[in-house]
Structure 1
């Protein structure tokens, strides 16, 4: 069921797309995080936010 309310859709996109992923353990972290919450590594990347179909 698609979300029609613009505000709710924006909140959902923020939750689904804006976070960092740890290279070492793969856990999700807050976008402002400097260290991983799980393994305390500094080696993290932002989630890939490209739109479109997977190849």
Structure 2
């Protein structure tokens, strides 16, 4: 069921796209995290947010 309310859609996109991923253990972390919550590594990357169809 698609979300039609623009405010709820913005909340859902932010929740789904704005976080960091650990290089070592691939855990999802908060966007403001300095180290991984699971393995305590400092090697983090932002989630890829490119839009479009997969090839």
Residue 53 (structure 2) pairs with residue 53 (structure 1): yes
Q: Distance in 2 between matches of 1:15 and 1:24?
A: 22
**Where in structure 1 do 4 or more consecutive aligned residues deviate above 4 Å?**
none
Root-mean-square deviation over aligned CA pairs: 0.4
Normalising by structure 2, we get a TM-score of 0.98
Gaps of 5+ in 1: none
Gaps of 5+ in 2: none
Normalising by structure 1, we get a TM-score of 0.98
- Count of aligned residue pairs for this structure pair: 55
